[in-house]
């Protein structure tokens, strides 16, 4: 395998592994918790490093995951005092833990290679240098295996506990009644998020893990209502972001992780604008068609209401009708032309008149709206 | 004592302490509004989103002046805010997800631009990175002057629009019914909060700026129910922790200033949450205990409804 290919494999694995738990974060409105955890795990890594003095020890991952869960717990405990809002609690806990980590690193770990840059920003390009060698045989980059097992873990947990996660996410009360222990599901999920963050930050840096966790699920959320489909779509979108991001980074010779985050934003933007049904364009189109339908209805009501009354000449006059309706001239002409085409109205003696069909439509609309 | 008087006469210390104190005052005042309007995490989002603006300003204008870089930061911070607002308005995506997405994407863009600049051999990009981690020790007199001017403008705006901001913060519907335009006020206040964040970037950095915005305000909130007292206390807490953090980092070797300031302000928050009269945790424990004791001594009514 060439290094380029290996990097892309790692990127895809990391992206999918992050996107899966990210779906539940987005749905549970805990997206910013991922940001919080990505910062605080640094403290877990530092503390574990002080205990074992070995940068490759698996204890570092354990320490990071434990601190991740502690972050969530502290934030919720502070929020539960009701002395401050939940988001403010988050904004106090994570900078404090992060600051302690930075102070510990600057004071005591200056000599070892534990600089904040590499932890926060990550460097995927170096991943292929770290080889996995078993019995003297090189079987690929180490990161493929570490992130690969992470992906398998995430997949396994989500498949096994799919029902529990689903119920606890959409209806925590029901989950409690059914005996699923929402707290257990909650902290289980947070452990998974912490582990994923630890596994992913070595490749892409801790801050950009947020882009990988939240970007694809948010994009998928604009495309589907089905949880299973959202999970699959998120994984696919994550993988596409990873590959496109790497290609762009190689083309312009810039930061790989940064480029993948930018790609995440671009893919989201495309879906945001063009998504069928929920996209920006279809929303605008829907709003416009609703406006026209409503205006047509209003005009028909107006004509029906004043039909045969003494003010009819004024209310339904071809030149005075727009002032009666408070519409501008072009819009009124437009709506009248549309109604004329549908044979609801006709123009006689400089006046707008309902046709028989138009009168029926008006009555029909009225009944549809107000008869219950 | 000797070290302390020496410290107070030290020029670098004076500059950095003054800068940190100014930052504490500015972020304390505007943070009060951010926290009360439940926009605490906007600070985190905006400060991350400022990075591409900083680098782009450097690329386009070729200058490393604080003013230039801050201008870039301001523009990209505002753009990010705009993105977040329009995502929330036009889709069913919630504020927190929109915030997380936009800030991480902007930060990624910043990194991309940063690596692009680093390739360019002519440009010395040193100093751009201090916007990620913040380096109070690089503060110079010019920077202090800029902070003071921006801070004065911001404080004056708060003073001028005090009534409007107060009404808008606590009851925006009522403000609207009185004829204030909530859209414009929201824009003005958001703009001011973004500016306050940007000012703090080079002192405490992207990641720790959110604490400076939130913590003094949260601490001040515990001691009072009056807005002006809260804003005033918050400014004082911010200034005190700015100076204390700078002093601690000057007295101790290898203690970075930004994190030291954040630890100081967090200590103030912890103390306030525990000790504040009426609201604090200790007071509540005391009251609960007293009530239980009273109940035991005087006896309860037998049919007290239980929840």
Q: Could you tell me the CATH number of the domain that includes residue A112?
A: 1.10.3470.10
Higher pLDDT, B222 or A276: B222
> Looking at the complex, does the CB of residue B256 fall below 8 Å from at least one CB of chain A?
yes
Q: Is the pLDDT of residue A17 over 90?
A: yes
Mean residue pLDDT across chain B: 85
Q: Do A92 and B38 touch (CB under 8 A)?
A: no
pLDDT digits over A26-64, tens only?
Answer: 999 889 999 899 889 889 988 988 888 777 777 888 888
Looking at residue B102, what is its pLDDT?
95
Same domain, yes or no: A323 and A197? no
Question: What is the spatial distance between Cα A250 and Cα A138, in angstroms, rounded to a whole number?
Answer: 25
Q: Is the pLDDT of residue B28 over 90?
A: yes
Lowest mean pLDDT among A240-254, A265-279, B124-138, B205-219: B124-138
Question: Which residue range is the domain that position B179 belongs to?
Answer: 10-297
Q: Do B254 and A107 touch (CB under 8 A)?
A: yes
Stretch A81-107: mean pLDDT, rounded? 89
Query: A257: which chain B residues are within 8 Å (Cβ-Cβ)?
Result: 108, 111
Q: What is the 3-state secondary structure (H, E, C) of A336-363?
A: HHHHHHCCCEEEECCEEEECHHHHHHHH
Searching chain B, which residue's CA lies closest to the CA of residue A224? B92
Whether B90 is covered by a domain: the verdict is yes
Q: Is the pLDDT of residue B29 over 90?
A: yes
Question: What is the spatial distance between Cα B207 and Cα A95, in angstroms, rounded to a whole number?
Answer: 7
Per the structure, the count of domains in chain A is 2
Whether B304 is covered by a domain: the verdict is no
Looking at residue A107, what is its pLDDT?
83
Same domain, yes or no: A262 and A291? no
Q: Is the pLDDT of residue A113 over 60?
A: no
pLDDT digits over A156-172, tens only?
Answer: 999 999 988 898 888 88
Q: Is the pLDDT of residue B234 over 90?
A: yes
Under the banding of pLDDT at 50, 70 and 90, the label for residue A279 is confident
Q: Which CATH number do you get for residue A308?
A: 1.10.10.10
Question: What is the spatial distance between Cα A60 and Cα B235, in angstroms, rounded to a whole number?
Answer: 39
Query: A85: which chain B residues are within 8 Å (Cβ-Cβ)?
Result: 35, 38, 40
Query: B214: which chain A residues are within 8 Å (Cβ-Cβ)?
Result: 88, 91-92
Whether B1 is covered by a domain: the verdict is no
Same domain, yes or no: A231 and A286? no
Give the residue ranges of DSSP H helices in chain A: 3-27, 31-52, 58-80, 86-108, 116-121, 142-160, 162-170, 172-177, 182-204, 206-221, 227-252, 256-274, 280-306, 312-315, 321-325, 329-341, 356-370
Looking at residue B14, what is its pLDDT?
85
How far apart are the two ends of chain B, measured CA to CA in Å?
Answer: 58
CA dihedral of residues B50, B111, A35, B193 (deg, nearest 10): 0
Same domain, yes or no: A29 and A173? yes
Q: Which CATH number do you get for residue B152?
A: 1.10.3470.10
Q: Is the pLDDT of residue B130 over 90?
A: no
Q: Is the pLDDT of residue A219 over 90?
A: yes
Q: Is the pLDDT of residue A318 over 90?
A: no
Asked whether the beta carbons of B216 and B265 are under 8 A apart, the reply is: yes
> Looking at the complex, does the CB of residue B92 fall below 8 Å from at least one CB of chain A?
yes
Using the 3D structure, point to which of A253, A278, A303 is the last residue of a domain: A278
Same domain, yes or no: A196 and A128? yes
Same domain, yes or no: A41 and A190? yes
> Global pTM?
0.85
Question: What is the spatial distance between Cα B159 and Cα B151, in angstroms, rounded to a whole number?
Answer: 12
Same domain, yes or no: A243 and A290? no
Supply the Cα-derived Rg of chain B in whole angstroms: 22
Two structure tokens written together for A217: 């699920």
Under the banding of pLDDT at 50, 70 and 90, the label for residue B22 is very high
Per the structure, the count of domains in chain B is 1
Looking at residue B227, what is its pLDDT?
93
Q: Is the pLDDT of residue B152 over 90?
A: yes
The listed range with the strongest mean pLDDT (A47-56, A175-184, B18-27, B245-254) is B18-27
pLDDT digits over B163-201, tens only?
Answer: 888 888 888 788 878 877 777 888 888 888 888 888 888
Question: Which residue range is the domain that position A168 belongs to?
Answer: 3-278
Q: Do B281 and A95 touch (CB under 8 A)?
A: no
Same domain, yes or no: A265 and A319? no
Same domain, yes or no: A292 and A153? no
pLDDT digits over B239-259, tens only?
Answer: 999 999 999 988 887 888 888
Under the banding of pLDDT at 50, 70 and 90, the label for residue B305 is low
Using the 3D structure, point to which of A244, A278, A312 is the last residue of a domain: A278
Higher pLDDT, A348 or A5: A5
Q: Is the pLDDT of residue A155 over 80?
A: yes
> Looking at the complex, does the CB of residue A92 fall below 8 Å from at least one CB of chain B?
yes
């Amino acid at each position: 395998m060439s290094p380029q290919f290996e990097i892309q494999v790692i990127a895809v694995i990391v992206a999918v592994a992050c996107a899966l738990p990210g779906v539940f974060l987005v749905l549970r409105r805990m997206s910013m918790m991922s940001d919080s955890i990505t910062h605080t795990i640094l403290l877990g890594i530092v503390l574990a490093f002080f205990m074992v003095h070995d940068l490759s020890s698996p204890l570092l991952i354990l320490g990071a995951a434990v601190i991740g869960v502690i972050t969530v717990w502290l934030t919720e405990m502070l929020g539960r005092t009701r002395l401050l809002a939940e988001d403010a609690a988050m904004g106090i806990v994570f900078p404090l833990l992060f600051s302690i980590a930075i102070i510990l690193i600057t004071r005591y770990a200056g000599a070892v290679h534990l600089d904040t840059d590499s932890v926060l920003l990550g460097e995927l390009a170096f991943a292929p240098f770290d080889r996995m060698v078993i019995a003297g045989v090189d079987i690929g980059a180490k990161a493929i295996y570490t992130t690969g097992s992470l992906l398998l873990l995430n997949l396994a947990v989500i498949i096994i506990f799919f029902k529990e996660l689903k119920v606890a996410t959409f209806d925590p009360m029901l989950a409690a009644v059914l005996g699923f222990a929402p707290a257990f599901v909650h902290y289980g999920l947070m452990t998974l998020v912490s582990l994923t963050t630890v596994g992913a930050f070595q490749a892409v840096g801790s801050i950009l893990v947020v882009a990988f966790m939240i970007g694809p699920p948010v994009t998928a959320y604009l495309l589907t209502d089905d949880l299973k489909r959202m999970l699959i779509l998120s994984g696919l979108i994550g993988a596409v972001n990873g590959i496109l991001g790497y290609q762009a980074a190689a083309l312009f010779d810039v930061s790989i992780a940064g480029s993948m985050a930018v790609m995440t934003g671009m893919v989201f933007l495309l879906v945001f604008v063009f998504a069928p049904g929920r996209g920006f364009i279809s929303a605008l189109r829907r709003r416009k068609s609703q406006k026209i339908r409503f205006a047509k209805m209003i005009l028909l009501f107006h004509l029906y209401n004043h039909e045969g009354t003494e003010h009819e000449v004024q209310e339904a006059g071809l030149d005075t009708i727009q002032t009666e309706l408070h519409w501008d001239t072009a819009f009124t002409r437009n709506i009248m032309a549309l109604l004329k085409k549908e044979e609801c109205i006709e123009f006689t003696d400089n006046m707008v008149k309902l046709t028989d069909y138009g009168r029926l439509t008006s009555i029909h609309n009225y009944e549809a709206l107000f008869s219950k | 004592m000797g070290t302390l008087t020496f410290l107070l006469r030290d020029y670098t210390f004076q500059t950095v302490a003054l800068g940190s104190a100014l930052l504490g005052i500015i972020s304390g005042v505007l943070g009060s509004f951010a926290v009360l309007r439940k926009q605490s995490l906007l600070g985190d989002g905006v400060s991350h989103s400022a990075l591409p603006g900083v680098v782009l300003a450097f690329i386009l204008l070729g200058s490393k002046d604080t003013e230039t870089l801050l201008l870039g930061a301001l523009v990209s911070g505002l753009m990010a805010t705009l993105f977040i607002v329009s995502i929330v308005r036009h889709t069913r995506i919630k504020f927190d997800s929109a915030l997380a997405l936009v800030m991480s994407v902007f930060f990624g863009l910043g990194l991309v631009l940063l690596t692009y600049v680093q390739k360019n051999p002519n440009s010395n990009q040193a100093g751009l990175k201090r916007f990620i981690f913040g380096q109070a020790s690089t503060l110079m007199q010019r920077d202090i002057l800029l902070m003071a001017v921006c801070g004065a403008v911001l404080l004056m705006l708060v003073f001028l629009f005090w009534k409007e901001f107060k009404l808008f913060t606590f009851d925006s519907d009522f403000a609207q019914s009185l004829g204030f335009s909530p859209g414009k006020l929201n824009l003005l206040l958001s703009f001011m909060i973004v500016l306050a964040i940007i000012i703090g970037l080079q002192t405490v950095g992207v990641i720790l700026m959110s604490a400076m915005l939130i913590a003094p305000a949260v601490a001040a909130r515990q001691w009072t129910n009056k807005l002006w007292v809260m804003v005033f206390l918050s400014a004082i807490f911010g200034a005190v922790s700015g100076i204390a953090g700078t002093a601690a980092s000057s007295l101790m070797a290898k203690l970075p200033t930004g994190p030291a300031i954040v630890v100081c302000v967090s200590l103030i928050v912890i103390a306030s949450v525990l000790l504040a009269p009426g609201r604090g945790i200790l007071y509540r424990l005391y009251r609960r205990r007293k009530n239980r004791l009273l109940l035991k001594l005087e006896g309860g009514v037998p049919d007290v409804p239980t929840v």
